[in-house]
Amino acid sequence: MPARNAFYAQSGGVTAVINASAAGVIEAAREHPEAIGTVYAGVNGILGALHEQLIDTAHESAQTIAALRYTPAGAFGSARYKLKGLEENRAEYERLIEVFRAHDIGYFFYNGGGDSQDTAQKVSQLGEAMGYPITCIGVPKTVDNDLPVTDTCPGFGSVAKYIAVATREAGLDVASMAETSTRVFILETMGRHAGWIAAASALAQDREDAPPHVILLPEVALDEQRFLDRVQACVERIGYCVVVVSEGLRTADGQFVADQGTRDAFGHAQLGGVAPAVASMVRDRLGYKYHYAIADYLQRAARHIASATDVEQAHALGRAAVELALAGHNAVMPTVVRESGSPYRWHVGQVPLEAVANREAKMPASYIDAEGLFVTEAALRYLRPLIAGEDYPPYRDGLPEYARLRGERVAPRCPPFRD
Amino acid sequence: MPARNAFYAQSGGVTAVINASAAGVIEAAREHPEAIGTVYAGVNGILGALHEQLIDTAHESAQTIAALRYTPAGAFGSARYKLKGLEENRAEYERLIEVFRAHDIGYFFYNGGGDSQDTAQKVSQLGEAMGYPITCIGVPKTVDNDLPVTDTCPGFGSVAKYIAVATREAGLDVASMAETSTRVFILETMGRHAGWIAAASALAQDREDAPPHVILLPEVALDEQRFLDRVQACVERIGYCVVVVSEGLRTADGQFVADQGTRDAFGHAQLGGVAPAVASMVRDRLGYKYHYAIADYLQRAARHIASATDVEQAHALGRAAVELALAGHNAVMPTVVRESGSPYRWHVGQVPLEAVANREAKMPASYIDAEGLFVTEAALRYLRPLIAGEDYPPYRDGLPEYARLRGERVAPRCPPFRD
């Protein structure tokens, strides 16, 4: 069988290690020229295929590809773009096949979350139906850690480490000044539907009464009185309180706490973030001086403090995707299978895309304490190995020196796409 | 002359390296037992002297003191507490002398900003007047970099590095997703009166059109139209725009932009931070999708990404304070004197406390561009060496392992303080 080309695309919110998966895919593909010709990467993910904007990664040196391992964000561009169902928008899928056919693309590696695995599966089905067989392999990625089956998702371990480190450091800051300054510090983390990231802050607690003291998760409707009682008790006992809150925190009626009807001077609604909303409760009901931080993109882009475990898994799953394809698998995704937690031992497994597509893994009840205001020892046992190890990027003039691609485009061969 | 004891106190907002100065003071003092007996540290800074709450640092091992070099925040506790003028509150100064006398304290090392240097100077004067001569030496500290005379203040280089790294990393994130997601990203930094911290983000710009694209400084009144024009031009040219804004940004009439009359659902005023206020302008006038981050305490506590230059200077100035005292100086503060910028060469100098007390160094006009929306090459030349070098703390189980003090208290000898 002659070698065929591959298409690699990044999808959804980027992470500190998604490029490590890209490096794994490209490096593994280069080791098999008998089976895989060129790896084309989509400019802005799947949009790059629809618009036939492809980067020819063959023009990137081995050093540049290796540098992707320590470069955050999406080196080729990513997109928040979900292809609709086959019935609703068959034209988009047919366009993908058209572009794939024009460039002799026989492998599709889609690096994303649950939505993307759904897309990869549909492309696989349609290729089959249209007489253009294509091997579609998912590569897991999401800071939210909400993909099922796999022990964890590349991207999560690093954001977890960032949040745990930030909580420990800011916690020391607050503790050292509480007597005359801030009593309650609130750190807002990502996590719209699942509380994994906020939960990881608990790893910072290295002794009784160390921060964080309260963790508010999207899985638990906010009981304002219970929360404020806990904060007050904490301040009265040790002088201060560190609260970590997931952006997806909701009230009992299902409303986002971040969307509490805040209005600016002109009466415009402001989605102010959940941290200021929680801070307002603390101020109005308890009267404590507060501060809050909103880490936002800083947390998922923080390659400078990435988890070595996460980097290794991201790279390994990129490689594994290629190896699965070469072994004849289709419509599958490589996974992390945990053998033991302490010491952490894992190997690469696999799962059919249909088993992960559009499914969300939330925190199990056994990981959340009885009052819903902290996590359990079981959660800590699960989380601890995922942040292990440091993997520093190289620095130049005091700043991390990240990969810069040549990014040479492939000449288009198809008519423009009308969307 | 028999050895006399020393009192060391941390003051004001803590930093990633104030404990490195503490280590310098204690280590240098230990090398001179013929002159300095025990170093007592104030619990919560100067309050520890007023309330006679002193930590006996002699009980801390050499390893623990060395670990302070890589431990952020205030290990002994700090305080936002400014002693009033001698005429207004002579009792407080007399109380300090009472406690110093009771513990045979002949040296006062005060680690803080401009306010603290003022206090140290007054204590020196009053001791003289009360027949209790005491050597008062300031140790500079402030993330705001607003002390005059010294080339920079310990604490600033590390927060500058944090902000530059965060800007580079988040900038890559935004660039890779702008096609379908956030167009304008806003990072709020500390800096109530001086824009040094926000300015340091410019170090991330390693090529034309790299982030950051706009820097809003407290030294320049916000011209909303000019700002929005710049943002729009940037988005139209490269697809996205990264804005770094100092918390102290003001409008032309002197109001904080952060205090724009935002009201929550109950009509309560909310000090929402400057980032959401700027984000609202972008949304309302330009309609771009935005995100913002508020780094807050994360930036000044971020010892994990401290500047090696900053750590070295903090430690050296702590040592120098002791050496100045032993050389017979009084009412002075050691400074960083820049010999050359590239390569960066500096030595320790000194300045009378009266020359730094209560004076604020803002960004000079020559460091701000003509439109007031970015910094100049001169600013970059000044800033560049201050973030140079990494100085990682040790890690255990994926997290930095910071010093933990025994913190043994000295038995009180004075009556309680009535304030």
| The domains spanning A4-142+306-359+391-400 and A156-301 adopt the same CATH topology | yes
Model confidence over B61-113: pLDDT tens digits?
999 999 999 999 999 999 999 888 878 888 999 999 999 999 999 999 999 99
Whole-angstrom distance, CA of residue B36 vs CA of residue B132: 17
Q: What is the model's pLDDT at position A83?
A: 85
Rounded CA separation B90/B269 (Å) = 38
- Test B284 with A298 for CB contact under 8 angstroms: no
Concatenated DSSP letters of A215-235: EE-TTS---HHHHHHHHHHHH
DSSP string, A98-146: HHHHHTTEEEEEEEESHHHHHHHHHHHHHHHHTT---EEEEEE--TT--
Q: What integer pLDDT is reported at residue B265 of this predicted model?
A: 47
Q: What is the pLDDT along chain B (419 residues), one digit of tens a residue?
A: 789 999 999 999 999 999 999 999 999 999 999 999 999 999 999 999 999 999 999 999 999 999 999 999 999 999 999 888 878 888 999 999 999 999 999 999 999 998 899 999 999 998 988 899 999 999 999 999 999 999 999 999 999 999 999 999 999 999 999 999 999 999 999 998 999 999 999 999 999 999 999 999 999 999 999 999 999 999 999 999 999 999 999 999 999 998 765 554 445 455 568 999 999 899 999 999 999 999 999 999 999 999 999 999 999 999 999 999 999 999 999 999 999 999 999 999 999 999 998 788 889 999 999 999 999 999 999 999 999 999 999 999 999 999 999 999 999 999 999 76
**Measured on CA atoms in the order B83, B89, B95, B101, is the torsion positive or negative?**
positive
Long-range contacts from A392-396, C-beta under 8 angstroms, 24+ separation: A392/A70, A392/A304, A392/B390, A392/B392, A393/A70, A393/A71, A393/A303, A393/A304, A394/A70, A395/B390
Given a cut of 50, whether residue A158 has pLDDT beyond it is yes
What's the CA gap between B198 and B189, in Å, rounded?
Answer: 6
- Which chain B residues are within 8 Å of A181, Cβ to Cβ? 13, 79-80
Q: Which two tokens stand for residue B134?
A: 């005491």
Cα separation, B337 vs B349, whole angstroms: 6
From the candidates A51, A176, A289, which should be mutated to test the interface with B, based on the most B CB atoms within 10 A? Answer: A176
- Looking at the complex, does the CB of residue B158 fall below 8 Å from at least one CB of chain A? no
Tens digits of per-residue pLDDT, A381-410? 999 999 999 999 999 999 999 999 999 999
- pLDDT number for residue B260: 61
Q: Is B144 a catalytic residue?
A: yes
- Which regions of A300-366 does DSSP assign to beta strands (E)? 332-341, 344-352
Burial label for A13, CB within 10 Å (0-12, 13-18, 19+), is: buried
Q: What is the distance of C-alpha A276 from the center of its chain?
A: 24
Tokens read off for B107: 């040296």
pLDDT at A264 over 90: no
CB-based contact, B153 to chain A, within 8 Å = no
CB nearest to A388's CB, from B165, B172, B398: B398
For residue B300, say whether it is annotated as part of any ligand binding site.
yes
Q: Most B CBs within 10 Å: which of A297, A299, A312, A397, as the mutation test of the B interface? A: A297
What integer is the mean pLDDT of A228-235?
98
Average pLDDT of chain B, as a whole number: 94
Domain B4-141+307-359+391-400: which CATH number of 3.90.120.10, 3.40.50.2300, 3.60.10.10, 3.40.50.450: 3.40.50.450
CA A366 to chain B, closest CA, distance in angstroms equals: 23
The domain made up of B156-301 has a fold known as Rossmann fold (3.40.50)
| CA of B243 vs chain A CAs: smallest distance (Å) | 13
Partner-chain contact B398 A161, CB within 8 Å: yes
Q: Does residue B259 sit at the A interface (CB-CB below 8 Å)?
A: no
How high does pLDDT run on average in chain A?
Answer: 94
The reply to whether residue A169 touches residue B260, judged by beta carbons under 8 angstroms, is: no
- Model ipTM over 0.90: yes
From B123, B5, B120, B110, select the one nearest B57 (Cα to Cα). Answer: B5
Candidates A73, A177, A181; nearest CB to B173: A73
Domain boundaries, chain B: 4-141+307-359+391-400, 156-301
* Partner-chain contact A180 B73, CB within 8 Å: no
Report the alpha-carbon distance of residue A12 to residue B165 in Å, rounded: 23
CB contacts of B13 in chain A (<8 Å) are: 177, 181
Rounded to an integer, what distance in angstroms lies between the CA atom of residue A22 and that of residue A307? 17
Across B371-412, where does the E strand assignment appear? Answer: 395-396, 399-400
Question: Per-residue pLDDT tens for B155-169?
Answer: 999 999 999 999 999
- pLDDT at position B267 is 53
**A-B Cβ pairs (cutoff 8 Å, strict):** 253
Q: How far apart are CA B193 and CA A341, in angstroms?
A: 49
Unique residue bearing structure tokens 């911290």: B197
Is residue A269's pLDDT more than 60?
no
- Say whether pLDDT at A272 is over 90: no
Chain A residues within an 8 Å CB radius of B71: 172
Q: Is B80 on the interface with A (CB under 8 A)?
A: yes
The answer to whether B77 contacts A179, with C-beta atoms less than 8 Å apart, is yes
Q: Is B130 annotated as a binding residue?
A: no
Q: Which option is the CATH number for A4-142+306-359+391-400: 3.40.50.450, 2.40.50.140, 2.40.160.40, 3.40.50.2300? A: 3.40.50.450
